[in-house]
Amino acid sequence: MQFNDPATNDGLAGSMDRSRSYSLFVSGYLRDFSLPGALVSSNRYIPAASFGAILDAPRTKSTDRCSIPDLKKDKSFEGTTCRT
């Protein structure tokens, strides 16, 4: 077996099969403008040594990030509010 060796912890990956995610949602207003937004981040640690990676390496992970700003201008017409 490829990793059945004391140098690679006998092929055991400790505490590496996990994931973490974070999210933040905010909203701000200034005069006729509003700025709602979101930020989402996800880390997935990969215990296997695929594609020549080192087995059980803490840096072996995939990271997904997404940010969504949404700037809006609010206008009022005869007591009615429209978002454009």
Look at residue 24 in the predicted model and tell me its pLDDT: 93
Q: Considering its fold, how many domains does the chain have in total? A: 1
**If the chain, 84 residues long, is cut into consecutive pieces of 10 residues, what is the mean pLDDT of each piece?**
65 71 91 90 78 67 88 72 58
Does residue 68 lie within any of the structural domains?
yes
Amino acid identity for residue 1 in this structure: M
Angle (CA) 7-8-9 rounded to 5° is 95
Does the residue 81 lie in any domain?
Answer: no
pLDDT at position 26, please?
A: 92
* Six-digit token string for 76: 């009022």
pLDDT recorded at residue 38: 93
| Residue 66: strand pairing partners | 40
Task: Domain of residue 27: give its range.
Answer: 6-74
Q: How many beta carbons lie within 10 A of that of residue 19, not counting itself?
A: 11
Question: Does residue 1 fall inside a structural domain?
Answer: no
Residue type, 67: S
Place of tokens 């007591």: 79
